[in-house]
Structures are given as structure tokens and as C-alpha cells.
A = this chain, B = another copy of it.
């Protein structure tokens, strides 16, 4: 809804917006965040730099929005009727190839965040916070169903557990994260920490 509204306000069609985000992700994979220029985005997408700045404010915001747009749907829309089912659906939306590609992209951006406070801020505002809101609604439904106790202390660490597993997998085990790894990690760690039985 929000994206359509944004597009209308600025007279950029959703299709054109999607095309632009795709071009930004391609450029990010090709040259990385630091070498990515608004000139290159403008050239690749045949738009004017003025339009890009008016629409997004700057490179950090454009990149954060492009990443968010590339994510498969909204976690908050997943509603299988059980938390375990929701997590499995969440993991199954990206096949292993896509996950490996995105894991490399995210590692690169995690590096860039380290030296670009503007990118860190844009990431938090436009990517991490909205994702956490989505996640909270998924968890809230599990609380409402009685699967998780409302005062379960692990609730505030679900994102740490999931992003942490994703980020450390390559470092510790020499493999990119896969659906199988994440599913096994969710059953072994996340659900028990939340007090949800896995069988």
C-alpha cells in the first residue's frame, strides 16, 4: 500500500519503481556500495539524477528501499495457523541460490554500514524497523493463539537469533545459509527458546 501511495505521489508507476530498484540491486552486486554512484543509477535507468534525489533523498535511502523491495513479500502476511508453519513458510520463500546471492549482497552491505553512518540510519529506518514490525505481527498472532507466553523473554531476541544465524553461518561453517540449515536452526534454537514445542 505504502509503495503504491509513494509512487502516486511522485508520479512514478510501481512498474517503473520496481525496474529502478532492480537496476540498483544489479549495480550493488557489480560494484558494491562505495563505488555505486547516483550517476551510474541514472545512466542505467535512463532517469535524471534530479528525479532520483527528489524521489529518494539520496543514495543510502535508495539502496535501503531497493533491498526492501527485493525481499519476497511481507513476513506479516504469512499466516499458516502455527508459528512453526509461519517460520517454515518464511524460510521457503527464498531458494538456496537466491539466499546465497542475497547473503553475499548483505555481507557487502554490512561492511559498508560500518563506514557509512547514513547508510546505517537508512537501513534501520527503511529496512530493519519495518521488517521488525512485520515480524512482531507474526509473533503477536502466535501469542494470541497461546503458542508463546506474552512475557517470554526470548521474544525481544527473535531477530537477533535469526539474523545472527544467517550472518555467522558462512564464517563458522564454510557454507552459505540454506533452507535446510535455517529450518534446523529454527527447530533447535528459536522455537525452544520461545517455549514452542517442535513436535
Contacts and interface: CB of A to CB of B under 8 A. Distances in A.
Interface string A96-113: 000000000001101101
A161 B174 contact: no
Nearest to A123: B171
A189 B184 contact: no
A193 B195 CA distance: 9
A172 interface: yes
Nearest to A115: B111
Given A164-B163, A192-B193, A157 B185 contact: yes
Copies, count: 2
A187 B153 contact: yes
Contacts of A78: none
Interface string A162-186: 0111011101101000000000110
Contacts of A188: 153-154, 156-157, 193
A114 B171 CA distance: 9
14 contacts: A107-B114, A108-B114, A113-B171, A154-B192, A156-B188, A160-B165, A160-B168, A160-B185, A163-B168, A163-B172, A164-B164, A189-B193, A190-B193, A192-B193
Nearest 5 pairs between A and B by C-beta?
Answer: A164-B164, A153-B188, A111-B111, A189-B193, A154-B188
